[in-house]
Protein backbone atom coordinates (compact mmCIF):
# COMPACT_ATOMS: atom_id res chain seq x y z
CA UNK A 1 0.00 0.00 0.00
CA UNK A 2 1.41 3.39 -0.94
CA UNK A 3 0.90 5.88 1.87
CA UNK A 4 1.85 9.41 2.79
CA UNK A 5 2.79 10.31 6.35
CA UNK A 6 3.05 13.96 7.37
CA UNK A 7 4.50 15.13 10.68
CA UNK A 8 3.76 18.78 11.43
CA UNK A 9 5.81 19.94 14.38
CA UNK A 10 6.78 23.22 15.98
CA UNK A 11 9.75 23.87 13.69
CA UNK A 12 9.32 21.69 10.62
CA UNK A 13 6.80 19.85 8.50
CA UNK A 14 7.99 16.54 7.10
CA UNK A 15 6.69 14.14 4.49
CA UNK A 16 7.27 10.44 3.91
CA UNK A 17 5.76 8.71 0.90
CA UNK A 18 6.34 5.00 1.27
CA UNK A 19 5.23 1.54 0.26
CA UNK A 20 4.22 -0.41 3.36
CA UNK A 21 3.92 -4.20 3.47
CA UNK A 22 4.47 -6.83 6.16
CA UNK A 23 5.17 -4.16 8.78
CA UNK A 24 8.06 -2.78 6.74
CA UNK A 25 8.46 0.69 5.25
CA UNK A 26 10.10 1.19 1.86
CA UNK A 27 10.88 4.84 1.19
CA UNK A 28 9.64 6.39 -2.04
CA UNK A 29 10.19 10.04 -1.10
CA UNK A 30 11.21 11.73 2.14
CA UNK A 31 11.41 15.51 2.62
CA UNK A 32 11.57 18.17 5.32
CA UNK A 33 10.75 21.89 5.20
CA UNK A 34 11.25 24.39 8.01
CA UNK A 35 8.03 26.37 8.53
CA UNK A 36 8.32 27.38 12.22
CA UNK A 37 4.60 26.80 12.81
CA UNK A 38 5.19 27.27 16.54
CA UNK A 39 6.58 30.79 16.10
CA UNK A 40 5.57 32.72 19.23
CA UNK A 41 3.10 30.07 20.42
CA UNK A 42 4.79 29.73 23.81
CA UNK A 43 4.21 33.43 24.46
CA UNK A 44 0.92 34.14 22.66
CA UNK A 45 -0.98 30.83 22.61
CA UNK A 46 -1.88 31.51 18.96
CA UNK A 47 -0.61 30.47 15.55
CA UNK A 48 0.86 33.53 13.81
CA UNK A 49 -0.75 34.30 10.39
CA UNK A 50 2.61 34.13 8.61
CA UNK A 51 3.41 30.78 10.25
CA UNK A 52 0.11 29.36 8.99
CA UNK A 53 0.87 30.74 5.51
CA UNK A 54 4.30 29.08 5.45
CA UNK A 55 2.79 25.79 6.57
CA UNK A 56 0.05 25.96 3.96
CA UNK A 57 2.59 26.57 1.19
CA UNK A 58 4.68 23.59 2.28
CA UNK A 59 1.66 21.32 2.62
CA UNK A 60 0.40 22.32 -0.83
CA UNK A 61 3.76 21.27 -2.24
CA UNK A 62 3.48 17.96 -0.42
CA UNK A 63 -0.03 17.44 -1.81
CA UNK A 64 1.33 17.79 -5.35
CA UNK A 65 3.93 15.13 -4.57
CA UNK A 66 1.26 12.82 -3.13
CA UNK A 67 -0.74 13.11 -6.34
CA UNK A 68 2.28 12.52 -8.55
CA UNK A 69 3.21 9.37 -6.61
CA UNK A 70 -0.37 8.00 -6.61
CA UNK A 71 -0.72 7.88 -2.84
CA UNK A 72 -3.65 5.75 -1.64
CA UNK A 73 -3.93 6.89 1.97
CA UNK A 74 -2.73 9.88 4.01
CA UNK A 75 -2.21 10.46 7.71
CA UNK A 76 -1.05 13.84 8.98
CA UNK A 77 -0.33 14.39 12.64
CA UNK A 78 0.28 17.66 14.41
CA UNK A 79 2.22 17.64 17.65
CA UNK A 80 3.34 20.09 20.32
CA UNK A 81 2.51 23.46 18.77
CA UNK A 82 -1.01 22.44 17.77
CA UNK A 83 -1.79 21.19 21.28
CA UNK A 84 -1.18 24.59 22.80
CA UNK A 85 -3.03 27.08 20.61
CA UNK A 86 -6.39 28.77 20.78
CA UNK A 87 -6.85 29.24 17.01
CA UNK A 88 -6.16 25.73 15.81
CA UNK A 89 -9.49 25.64 13.94
CA UNK A 90 -7.81 27.80 11.30
CA UNK A 91 -5.06 25.19 11.01
CA UNK A 92 -7.55 22.32 10.65
CA UNK A 93 -9.58 24.17 8.03
CA UNK A 94 -6.43 24.71 6.00
CA UNK A 95 -5.24 21.09 6.23
CA UNK A 96 -8.70 19.78 5.36
CA UNK A 97 -8.81 21.90 2.22
CA UNK A 98 -5.29 20.99 1.05
CA UNK A 99 -5.23 17.28 1.94
CA UNK A 100 -8.88 16.70 1.02
CA UNK A 101 -7.97 17.49 -2.58
CA UNK A 102 -5.68 14.43 -2.53
CA UNK A 103 -7.67 11.92 -0.49
CA UNK A 104 -11.31 12.60 0.39
CA UNK A 105 -11.77 13.33 4.06
CA UNK A 106 -8.04 13.59 4.84
CA UNK A 107 -7.28 16.09 7.60
CA UNK A 108 -4.63 16.70 10.21
CA UNK A 109 -5.13 15.30 13.69
CA UNK A 110 -3.56 16.49 16.91
CA UNK A 111 -2.03 13.57 18.76
CA UNK A 112 -1.27 13.39 22.46
CA UNK A 113 2.25 13.30 23.84
CA UNK A 114 1.80 9.60 24.60
CA UNK A 115 0.76 8.87 21.00
CA UNK A 116 3.69 10.89 19.70
CA UNK A 117 6.08 8.95 21.93
CA UNK A 118 4.73 5.59 20.78
CA UNK A 119 4.86 6.47 17.08
CA UNK A 120 8.41 7.81 17.42
CA UNK A 121 9.51 4.65 19.22
CA UNK A 122 7.95 2.34 16.66
CA UNK A 123 9.62 4.17 13.79
CA UNK A 124 13.03 4.38 15.47
CA UNK A 125 13.68 0.82 16.67
CA UNK A 126 12.52 -1.25 13.70
CA UNK A 127 16.03 -1.84 12.33
CA UNK A 128 17.89 -2.14 15.64
CA UNK A 129 19.34 -5.37 16.99
CA UNK A 130 17.17 -6.67 19.82
CA UNK A 131 20.34 -7.61 21.72
CA UNK A 132 20.87 -3.87 22.29
CA UNK A 133 17.49 -3.47 24.03
CA UNK A 134 15.99 -2.02 26.11
CA UNK A 135 16.18 1.23 24.13
CA UNK A 136 15.51 4.73 25.36
CA UNK A 137 14.34 6.70 22.34
CA UNK A 138 14.46 10.49 22.52
CA UNK A 139 12.59 12.54 19.91
CA UNK A 140 13.82 16.10 20.40
CA UNK A 141 11.49 18.45 18.58
CA UNK A 142 10.81 22.15 18.43
CA UNK A 143 8.18 22.26 21.13
CA UNK A 144 8.42 18.97 23.00
CA UNK A 145 10.80 16.13 23.73
CA UNK A 146 9.57 12.55 23.95
CA UNK A 147 11.46 10.10 26.16
CA UNK A 148 10.38 6.48 25.57
CA UNK A 149 11.67 3.19 26.98
CA UNK A 150 11.05 -0.24 25.51
CA UNK A 151 12.35 -3.20 23.56
CA UNK A 152 9.90 -3.91 20.74
CA UNK A 153 6.95 -2.50 22.66
CA UNK A 154 6.79 0.67 24.73
CA UNK A 155 7.26 0.14 28.46
CA UNK A 156 6.96 3.79 29.47
CA UNK A 157 6.96 7.15 27.75
CA UNK A 158 6.66 10.83 28.56
CA UNK A 159 6.32 13.97 26.45
CA UNK A 160 8.08 16.91 28.09
CA UNK A 161 7.17 20.47 27.11
CA UNK A 162 10.69 21.41 26.14
CA UNK A 163 12.12 21.65 22.65
CA UNK A 164 14.67 23.69 20.74
CA UNK A 165 12.22 26.41 19.61
CA UNK A 166 10.32 26.69 22.90
CA UNK A 167 13.55 26.81 24.93
CA UNK A 168 15.17 29.37 22.63
CA UNK A 169 12.17 31.70 22.66
CA UNK A 170 11.88 31.42 26.44
CA UNK A 171 15.53 31.72 27.50
CA UNK A 172 18.17 32.16 24.78
CA UNK A 173 17.82 35.70 23.49
CA UNK A 174 21.42 36.83 22.94
CA UNK A 175 23.76 35.94 20.09
CA UNK A 176 25.56 33.93 21.32
CA UNK A 177 23.53 33.18 24.47
CA UNK A 178 24.95 34.50 27.72
CA UNK A 179 25.99 32.30 30.65
CA UNK A 180 22.93 33.48 32.60
CA UNK A 181 20.62 32.59 29.71
CA UNK A 182 22.19 29.14 29.39
CA UNK A 183 21.86 28.58 33.14
CA UNK A 184 18.18 29.57 33.00
CA UNK A 185 17.61 27.21 30.09
CA UNK A 186 19.33 24.36 31.96
CA UNK A 187 17.03 24.89 34.92
CA UNK A 188 13.98 24.65 32.65
CA UNK A 189 15.30 21.47 31.03
CA UNK A 190 16.18 19.84 34.35
CA UNK A 191 12.71 20.52 35.72
CA UNK A 192 11.07 19.03 32.64
CA UNK A 193 13.37 16.00 32.62
CA UNK A 194 12.71 15.40 36.31
CA UNK A 195 9.04 14.96 35.43
CA UNK A 196 9.94 12.56 32.62
CA UNK A 197 12.29 10.52 34.81
CA UNK A 198 9.58 9.94 37.37
CA UNK A 199 7.63 8.12 34.66
CA UNK A 200 10.34 6.54 32.49
CA UNK A 201 12.84 4.21 34.25
CA UNK A 202 15.80 5.11 32.03
CA UNK A 203 18.19 3.18 34.29
CA UNK A 204 16.89 0.03 32.55
CA UNK A 205 18.10 1.22 29.13
CA UNK A 206 21.12 -0.24 27.36
CA UNK A 207 21.02 1.93 24.22
CA UNK A 208 20.16 5.59 23.67
CA UNK A 209 18.56 6.29 20.29
CA UNK A 210 18.13 9.90 19.17
CA UNK A 211 15.80 10.98 16.37
CA UNK A 212 14.81 14.23 14.63
CA UNK A 213 16.79 17.13 13.23
CA UNK A 214 18.68 18.35 16.27
CA UNK A 215 20.04 14.87 16.97
CA UNK A 216 21.00 14.13 13.39
CA UNK A 217 22.64 17.53 12.94
CA UNK A 218 24.71 17.10 16.11
CA UNK A 219 25.80 13.68 14.86
CA UNK A 220 26.82 15.10 11.48
CA UNK A 221 28.92 17.76 13.21
CA UNK A 222 30.48 15.19 15.56
CA UNK A 223 31.41 13.08 12.53
CA UNK A 224 32.98 16.20 10.98
CA UNK A 225 30.86 16.01 7.84
CA UNK A 226 31.22 18.90 5.42
CA UNK A 227 27.72 18.30 4.03
CA UNK A 228 24.77 16.44 5.48
CA UNK A 229 24.67 12.77 4.43
CA UNK A 230 21.54 11.00 5.69
CA UNK A 231 22.73 7.52 4.69
CA UNK A 232 25.96 7.94 6.61
CA UNK A 233 24.13 9.40 9.61
CA UNK A 234 21.53 6.64 9.89
CA UNK A 235 22.40 4.29 12.79
CA UNK A 236 25.76 5.99 13.31
CA UNK A 237 27.18 6.23 16.83
CA UNK A 238 28.56 9.26 18.63
CA UNK A 239 30.54 8.94 21.84
CA UNK A 240 29.59 11.35 24.59
CA UNK A 241 32.97 13.13 24.56
CA UNK A 242 32.46 14.12 20.92
CA UNK A 243 28.76 14.85 21.38
CA UNK A 244 29.29 17.16 24.34
CA UNK A 245 32.13 18.97 22.60
CA UNK A 246 29.85 19.76 19.65
CA UNK A 247 27.10 20.97 22.00
CA UNK A 248 29.45 23.28 23.89
CA UNK A 249 30.92 24.65 20.65
CA UNK A 250 27.46 25.46 19.26
CA UNK A 251 26.45 27.33 22.40
CA UNK A 252 29.58 29.48 22.14
CA UNK A 253 29.01 30.32 18.46
CA UNK A 254 27.15 33.22 16.93
CA UNK A 255 24.33 32.43 14.53
CA UNK A 256 26.53 33.47 11.64
CA UNK A 257 29.18 30.96 12.72
CA UNK A 258 26.59 28.19 13.03
CA UNK A 259 25.20 29.01 9.59
CA UNK A 260 28.64 28.48 8.09
CA UNK A 261 28.75 24.84 9.26
CA UNK A 262 28.28 22.51 6.30
CA UNK A 263 25.63 20.13 7.73
CA UNK A 264 23.59 22.91 9.36
CA UNK A 265 20.12 23.52 7.88
CA UNK A 266 19.35 27.24 7.80
CA UNK A 267 16.14 26.67 9.72
CA UNK A 268 18.03 25.23 12.70
CA UNK A 269 20.68 27.95 13.01
CA UNK A 270 18.89 30.03 15.63
CA UNK A 271 17.42 27.21 17.72
CA UNK A 272 19.97 24.39 17.80
CA UNK A 273 21.60 25.87 20.91
CA UNK A 274 18.42 25.08 22.81
CA UNK A 275 18.52 21.54 21.48
CA UNK A 276 22.17 21.23 22.49
CA UNK A 277 21.29 22.03 26.09
CA UNK A 278 18.60 19.32 26.14
CA UNK A 279 21.11 16.82 24.75
CA UNK A 280 23.76 17.79 27.30
CA UNK A 281 21.33 17.26 30.17
CA UNK A 282 20.10 13.95 28.77
CA UNK A 283 23.67 12.68 28.33
CA UNK A 284 24.43 13.50 31.96
CA UNK A 285 21.34 11.63 33.17
CA UNK A 286 21.81 8.57 30.95
CA UNK A 287 25.49 8.35 31.75
CA UNK A 288 24.85 8.49 35.47
CA UNK A 289 21.72 6.34 35.68
CA UNK A 290 22.22 3.81 32.88
CA UNK A 291 25.97 3.81 32.28
CA UNK A 292 25.42 4.74 28.62
CA UNK A 293 28.31 6.51 26.92
CA UNK A 294 27.22 6.93 23.31
CA UNK A 295 24.28 8.07 21.20
CA UNK A 296 22.88 6.05 18.29
CA UNK A 297 21.20 8.31 15.73
CA UNK A 298 18.32 7.11 13.56
CA UNK A 299 16.92 8.79 10.47
CA UNK A 300 13.77 6.71 10.97
CA UNK A 301 11.37 8.22 13.43
CA UNK A 302 7.77 9.30 13.91
CA UNK A 303 7.23 9.49 10.13
CA UNK A 304 7.92 5.77 9.85
CA UNK A 305 5.65 5.11 12.82
CA UNK A 306 2.86 7.11 11.17
CA UNK A 307 3.30 5.20 7.87
CA UNK A 308 3.11 1.86 9.70
CA UNK A 309 -0.04 3.00 11.49
CA UNK A 310 -1.86 3.62 8.20
CA UNK A 311 -1.37 0.30 6.43
Assign residue 39 the CATH number of its domain: 3.30.420.40
List the single range of 105-109, 141-145, 251-255 with lowest mean pLDDT.
Answer: 105-109
Report the mean per-residue pLDDT for the chain. Answer: 92
- 252 lies in the same domain as 204: yes
Q: Is residue 36 part of a domain?
A: yes
- 216 lies in the same domain as 85: no
What confidence score (pLDDT) does residue 88 get?
Answer: 83
- 31 lies in the same domain as 176: no
What confidence score (pLDDT) does residue 79 get?
Answer: 78
What confidence score (pLDDT) does residue 143 get?
Answer: 85
Per-residue pLDDT tens digits for 205-228: 999 999 999 999 999 999 999 999
Q: At what angle do helices 179-199 and 272-290 cross, to 10 degrees?
A: 50
Residue 89 has pLDDT above 90, yes or no: no
What confidence score (pLDDT) does residue 80 get?
Answer: 67
CB 162 within 8 A of CB 192: yes
Averaged pLDDT for residues 242-248: 98
- 170 lies in the same domain as 49: no
- CATH number of 257's domain: 3.30.420.150
What confidence score (pLDDT) does residue 51 get?
Answer: 92
Q: Is residue 121 part of a domain?
A: no
Averaged pLDDT for residues 108-121: 86
Long-range contacts, 157-160 (Cβ 8 Å, 24+):
157/113, 157/114, 157/117, 157/118, 157/121, 157/199, 157/200, 158/113, 158/117, 158/195, 158/196, 158/199, 158/200, 159/80, 159/112, 159/113, 159/114, 159/116, 159/117, 160/192, 160/193, 160/195, 160/196
Gap between the terminal Cα atoms of the chain: 7
* Model confidence band, residue 280 (pLDDT cutoffs 50, 70, 90): very high
- 135 lies in the same domain as 101: no
Q: Is residue 139 part of a domain?
A: yes
Residue 175 has pLDDT above 70, yes or no: yes
Averaged pLDDT for residues 169-174: 95
What confidence score (pLDDT) does residue 218 get?
Answer: 97
Q: Is residue 61 part of a domain?
A: yes
Structural domain boundaries enclosing 215 = 128-302
Averaged pLDDT for residues 183-193: 97
Averaged pLDDT for residues 114-124: 88
Structure-model confidence comparison of residues 43 and 203, the more confident one: 203
Structure-model confidence comparison of residues 252 and 267, the more confident one: 252
- 176 lies in the same domain as 245: yes
Tell me what percent of the residues of the chain surpass a pLDDT of 70.
99
What confidence score (pLDDT) does residue 257 get?
Answer: 97
* Model confidence band, residue 172 (pLDDT cutoffs 50, 70, 90): very high
Q: Is residue 67 part of a domain?
A: yes
What confidence score (pLDDT) does residue 38 get?
Answer: 84
Count the domains in the chain.
2
- 146 lies in the same domain as 81: no
What confidence score (pLDDT) does residue 39 get?
Answer: 85
What confidence score (pLDDT) does residue 137 get?
Answer: 96
Structure-model confidence comparison of residues 85 and 225, the more confident one: 225
Amino acid sequence: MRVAAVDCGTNSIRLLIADVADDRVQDVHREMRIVRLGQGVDATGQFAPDALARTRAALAGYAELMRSYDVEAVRMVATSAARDVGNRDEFFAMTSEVLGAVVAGAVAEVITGDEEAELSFRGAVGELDSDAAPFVVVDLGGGSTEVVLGSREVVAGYSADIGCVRLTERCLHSDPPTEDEIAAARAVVRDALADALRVVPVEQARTWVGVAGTMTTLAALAHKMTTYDSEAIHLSRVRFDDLLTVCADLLAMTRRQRAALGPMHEGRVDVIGGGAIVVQELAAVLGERAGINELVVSEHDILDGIALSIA
